[in-house]
Amino acid sequence: MVTRHETLIKGSLVYLRPYETDDARALLDLRVRNADFFGPFEPRPVVEPPKTIEDQRRAIEQMMKQAARDASYSFGIFACDNDRLVGQIRLTQIFRGALQRAIVGYFVDEAENRKGYATEALRLAIRIAFKELGLHRVEAGAMPRNIASNRVLVKAGMRPEGYAPRYLQINGEWEDHNLFGLTAEEFTQD
Ligand SMILES: CC(C)(COP(=O)(O)OP(=O)(O)OC[C@H]1O[C@@H](n2cnc3c(N)ncnc32)[C@H](O)[C@@H]1OP(=O)(O)O)[C@@H](O)C(=O)NCCC(=O)NCCS
């Protein structure tokens, strides 16, 4: 379990922690106040997004079950200075077998942008993927116009791998994406 290795997931600005059901209010508030900011960059949800704290609690329980099944790992991004929830990062679509891959996705509260939180969170998530989960490959994609996300991916050390036209349906449109990848052999952090 990732939670046993707290030292692996603490940085200087932020730390990552798997959600607990008590995070429901903070996560719901974060998503509600950023709905317009995140909307243009997110796939439409398959199921209705949580609207109440009870819904959000159930959604967190689902994330816990997905982690227990080794299907995906979801972390809150918390600021080191005062432990507030500032964003989320997930290692999803884990595929074991001969691929050993996760796809990483994230968001950070608009009010907390440009403080380096996403970059550090991504570095920490990459470390978890390779050192803790024993994966061989981490992948990510970003729309070319999502300047901040492309910058985060490059700064965190992900390697550009190409350009995929009409790669992902975002907000109802098939959007081109820049693709990024990293394999365990390239991972140079401690
Ligand atoms: C992308 C996102 C996670 C970045 O979070 P963040 O904590 O602000 O990221 P960081 O502070 O670590 O780094 C952001 C980088 O992008 C740059 N940046 C941010 N907004 C920018 C903009 N509008 N134009 C140009 N550069 C921008 C910052 O200057 C910084 O680069 P620098 O250190 O070279 O100056 C956040 O904006 C977000 O949640 N966006 C909506 C959801 C999303 O796009 N998720 C990713 C989907 S692929």
C-alpha span between 106 and 121 (Å, rounded): 9
Over residues 69-110, the pLDDT tens digits come to 999 999 999 999 999 999 999 999 999 999 999 999 999 999
Contacts of 79 (CB under 8 A, 6+ apart): 13, 14, 86, 112, 117
C-alpha span between 26 and 17 (Å, rounded): 14
Out of 107, 120, 155, give the residue to mutate to test ligand 1, the one with the largest number of ligand atoms within 8 Å of its CB: 107
pTM confidence score: 0.95
Which ligand 1 atom sits nearest the alpha carbon of residue 113?
8
Q: Is the CB of 187 under 6 A from ligand 1?
A: no
Return the percentage of the chain with pLDDT > 70, whole number: 95
Which ligand 1 atom sits nearest the alpha carbon of residue 149?
1
Count how many residues are written for the chain.
Answer: 190
Out of 16, 147, 151, 168, give the residue to mutate to test ligand 1, the one with the largest number of ligand atoms within 8 Å of its CB: 151
